[in-house]
């Protein structure tokens, strides 16, 4: 589960990375993890291709969307199937929200890949 304490520890440094449990699963068993990286004031949050891996999809053989809507927000999907969002100097609560959005977006991509198979 994404916690403010872990993110606050990362915020205290100029550079770093942490891997977090989102509290979600792809299939009821496989956990959805997000990686948060920080470089100066820039943050990047990604699923590191977890949805593609969990679905067992071949990136070269599936059509991937550019974005997936999560409520009023969207997450980006790379050509390699990595769910990601970036932010510059986000507040602590917004960074937690971004982590949640990437986790939920990863599950949504996983489900979309299963439906297409």
Would you state the pLDDT for residue 37? 97
Task: Tell me the pLDDT band of 5, cut-offs 50, 70 and 90.
Answer: confident
N residues, the chain: 117
Which helix (DSSP H) or strand (DSSP E) does residue 95 occupy? Answer: helix 92-116
CA distance 95 to 111: 24
Would you state the pLDDT for residue 43? 97
Would you state the pLDDT for residue 103? 97
Residue 117 has pLDDT above 90, yes or no: no
Question: Whole-model pTM?
Answer: 0.94
Sequence-ordered list of residues with C-beta below 8 angstroms from that of 80, at least 6 positions apart, any chain: 49, 52, 59
CA distance 88 to 112: 29
3-state SS class at 23: strand
Task: Tell me the pLDDT band of 61, cut-offs 50, 70 and 90.
Answer: confident
- What domain range includes position 87? 4-116
CA distance 26 to 30: 6
Task: Tell me the pLDDT band of 2, cut-offs 50, 70 and 90.
Answer: low
Domain count, the chain: 1
Q: Identify the residue whose tokens are 């510059």.
A: 88
Would you state the pLDDT for residue 100? 96
Residue 95 has pLDDT above 90, yes or no: yes
How do 31-39 and 67-70 pair as beta strands?
Answer: unpaired
CA distance 24 to 18: 17
Residue 9 has pLDDT above 80, yes or no: yes
Residue 104 has pLDDT above 80, yes or no: yes
Q: How many Cβ atoms sit within 10 Å of the Cβ of residue 108?
A: 18
């Amino acid at each position: 589960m994404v916690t403010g304490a872990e993110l606050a520890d990362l915020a205290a440094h100029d550079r770093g990375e942490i891997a977090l449990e989102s509290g979600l699963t792809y299939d009821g068993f496989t956990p959805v993890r997000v990686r948060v990286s920080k470089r100066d004031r820039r943050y990047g949050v990604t699923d590191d291709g977890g949805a593609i891996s969990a679905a067992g999809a071949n990136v070269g053989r599936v059509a991937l969307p550019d974005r997936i809507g999560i409520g009023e927000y969207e997450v980006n999907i790379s050509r390699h199937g990595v769910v990601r969002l970036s932010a510059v100097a986000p507040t602590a609560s917004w960074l937690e929200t971004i982590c949640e959005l990437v986790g939920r977006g990863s599950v949504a991509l996983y489900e979309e890949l299963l439906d297409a198979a």
